[in-house]
C-alpha cells in the first residue's frame, strides 16, 4: 500500500512538551515577588513576545532564555538575582510531555511512519527532553544546527534537505501558527495545527494568521487523521 505521507515532523515545545506549564512553574520565584501578579495568559503572551524578539538574532537558546528571564523580571518590576538568570534554562530539561503524546508517538511509529523533530532549541537541551519521549526519532533538526530560529525559512530548508522527500510526503504538526504552520506551508508541506481546547490557541507564541490543512485537539487525533487519508507504512 502507498499513502500521501512518509514523514510526520513535529515541533517539540508546546506541541509534544507542555512548555506553558514549565514556563509558569519556572518563573514562580519572580511572580511571588511581583507587585501585581499577571494572569497566566498575560505572562505567556509576554513570554512569546520577549522570546521572539530575542530570537531575531542568532544566539544559543540558553542565551535566549536568559534574556527572556532578564526582561521578564524588568516587566514584573523585580530584581533578578544572578542565579535566577538560569531559571528557565535549568527548568527546561524537566518539562514533561502532554499526557497522550508518548502513546500517540508509539502508535505512529508502529504504523511505519518516519518521525522528526524541528525545534528552536540547543542540541543538548533537546537531548535532555528526549529522555521523556518513549520513541526514537528518525531525524532531529535544531535551531543550533541551522543558526536561526523558526519561523526563519532556513531551518525549514535545512529540514527539507535532510528529509529528502517530496513536500506532499511531509505532514508537519505544531501548536504555533507563527513559528511552524505558516512557514511550513511556504515549503508546500501539509500542516496540522494542534489547538488544545483547554488552552489559549496562541499561548506563549506570537499571534499569527495561517490556514492549516488540519486541526486536532491532541495528538491522538492524528492517528485518525492519517488513517482516514489511507497513509500506510513505509
> How does pLDDT run across 187-200, given as a tens digit for each residue?
999 999 999 999 99
Active site residue 18: no
In the 8-state DSSP scheme, what is residue 230? T
Average pLDDT over residues 151-163: 98
What pLDDT sits at residue 229? 54
Q: What is the mean pLDDT of residues 25-30?
A: 96
User: What integer pLDDT is reported at residue 57 of this predicted model?
Assistant: 94
Q: Considering the candidates 11, 18, 122, 180, report the single residue annotated as catalytic.
A: 11
Q: What is the pLDDT of residues 165-189, one digit of tens each?
A: 999 999 999 999 999 999 999 999 9
Q: pLDDT value at position 95?
A: 98
Per-residue pLDDT band at 228 (split at 50, 70, 90): low
Query: CATH for 7-18+96-228?
Result: 3.40.50.1000
In this prediction, residue 18 has a pLDDT band, given cuts at 50, 70 and 90, of very high
* CA 121 to centroid of chain Cα atoms: 9
Q: Compute the distance between CA of residue 43 and CA of residue 47 in angstroms, rounded to an integer.
A: 6
Cβ atoms of 22 and 129 within 8 Å: the answer is no
CATH 3.40.50.1000 residue window(s) in the chain:
7-18+96-228
Residue 148, pLDDT above cutoff 60: yes
Copy the grid coordinates of residue 112. Answer: 511505519
pLDDT digits (tens, 9 = 90+) for 56-94: 999 999 999 999 999 999 999 999 988 899 999 999 999
| pLDDT class of 1 with cuts at 50, 70, 90 | very low
Task: Retrieve residue 132's grid coordinates.
Answer: 521523556
What confidence score (pLDDT) does residue 3 get? 60
Q: Is 205 exposed, middle or buried (0-12, 13-18, 19+ CB in 10 A)?
A: buried
**What pTM does this model have?**
0.94
Instruction: List, by residue range, all CATH 1.10.150.750 domains of the chain.
Output: 19-94
CATH 3.40.640.10 given to domain 19-94: no
Inter-residue long-range contacts of 226-232, CB under 8 Å, 24+ positions, other chains counted? 226/3, 226/5, 226/8, 226/108, 226/111, 226/113, 226/171, 229/3, 229/4, 229/5, 230/1, 230/3, 231/3, 231/4, 231/5, 231/111, 231/113, 232/1, 232/2, 232/3, 232/111, 232/112
Amino acid at each position: 500500500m502507498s499513502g500521501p505521507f512518509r514523514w510526520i515532523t513535529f515541533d517539540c515545545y508546546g506541541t509534544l512538551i507542555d512548555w506553558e506549564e514549565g514556563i509558569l512553574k519556572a518563573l514562580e520565584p519572580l511572580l511571588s515577588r511581583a507587585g501585581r501578579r499577571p494572569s497566566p495568559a498575560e505572562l505567556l503572551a509576554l513570554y512569546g513576545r520577549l522570546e521572539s524578539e530575542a530570537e531575531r538574532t542568532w544566539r544559543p537558546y540558553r542565551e535566549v532564555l536568559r534574556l527572556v528571564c532578564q526582561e521578564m523580571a524588568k516587566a514584573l518590576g523585580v530584581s533578578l538575582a544572578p542565579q535566577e538568570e538560569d531559571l528557565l534554562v535549568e527548568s527546561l530539561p524537566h518539562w514533561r510531555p502532554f499526557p497522550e503524546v508518548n502513546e500517540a508517538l508509539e502508535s505512529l511509529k508502529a504504523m511505519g511512519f518516519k518521525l522528526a523533530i524541528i525545534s528552536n532549541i540547543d542540541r543538548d537541551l533537546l537531548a535532555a527532553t528526549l529522555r521523556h519521549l518513549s520513541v526514537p526519532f528518525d531525524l532531529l533538526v535544531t535551531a543550533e544546527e541551522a543558526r536561526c530560529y523558526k519561523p526563519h525559512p532556513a531551518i525549514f530548508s535545512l529540514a527539507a534537505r535532510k528529509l529528502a522527500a517530496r513536500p506532499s510526503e511531509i505532514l508537519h504538526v505544531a501548536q504555533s501558527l507563527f513559528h511552524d504552520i505558516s512557514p511550513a506551508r511556504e515549503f508546500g508541506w501539509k500542516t496540522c495545527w494542534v489547538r488544545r481546547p483547554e488552552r489559549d490557541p496562541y499561548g506563549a507564541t506570537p499571534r499569527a494568521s495561517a490556514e492549516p490543512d488540519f486541526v486536532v485537539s491532541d495528538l491522538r487525533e492524528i492517528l485518525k487523521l492519517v488513517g482516514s487519508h489511507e497513509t500506510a507504512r513505509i
